[in-house]
Structure 1
């Protein structure tokens, strides 16, 4: 059963402007530890690709906060929700701390997709209730 759907579009130019004003502090506020590692590698090698990565993660977390119905308030925090990629490139949500416990208690399964194109990053999240019946 679908519990929530969220979508978000982010202007990469705004992310760039925020990055130029706040620098590393902005990325450290929005990204979790694993995301920061990827972001630092990408921005060092390809600065524009690093900004697009930051924008897609920002967008996906906004979409997740809408789908879960909490907005950006506890237990939802920027760093407790990471958007990572499988080896195949498929994005997935890795939750931490109170947010992970909240979603487990509510039997939530999360699906996410992200995309970016020149000036925009967009994300879509679907949250389902997992079956709690072991015979299902």
Structure 2
């Protein structure tokens, strides 16, 4: 395996906190799974911000950009072992075509910011 892409993004938690007051924004940007997870916490804006940063970091790692990736074609799924990224069928097809086999994500937040780091491994 080789590294096929790396992406990082930082997101202001307060900026997302302001945006999520608009339900249309939430529905346009986040999947139902992300909304349910975030709203189940005392500070949902932290989880929305980390999910948004993950979408951006993935878009950078693929070199597609967020416009081509789409806001709801990649989302953060929280598991017992930590967060993972899930994909729509069109993104899964792209990853397969580009021989991008493994996508890793790391999320963190502190000091009013959320950060996401994505590494994509694959074959030549």
2 CA distance for matches of 1:114 and 1:66?
15
Count of aligned positions: 122
Residue 37 of structure 1: how far off its partner (Å): 2.0
- Structure 2 gaps of 5+ residues are none
2:90 to 98, 105, 110: 98
Give the TM-score of the pair, scaled to structure 2.
0.89
Residue 129 of structure 1: how far off its partner (Å): 0.7
2:49 to 25, 37, 55: 55
1 CA distance for matches of 2:33 and 2:18?
24
Partner of 1:30: 29
2 CA distance for matches of 1:3 and 1:33?
30
Structure 1 stretches of at least 4 aligned residues deviating more than 3 Å after TM superposition: none
For the residue of structure 1 that corresponds to 2:67, the secondary structure is coil
Residue 77 of structure 1: how far off its partner (Å): 1.0
Residue 52 of structure 1: how far off its partner (Å): 0.3
Structure with higher Rg: it is 1
- Structure 1 gaps of 5+ residues are 132-136
Any conservation in 1 of the 2:55–2:66 contact (CA below 8 Å)? no
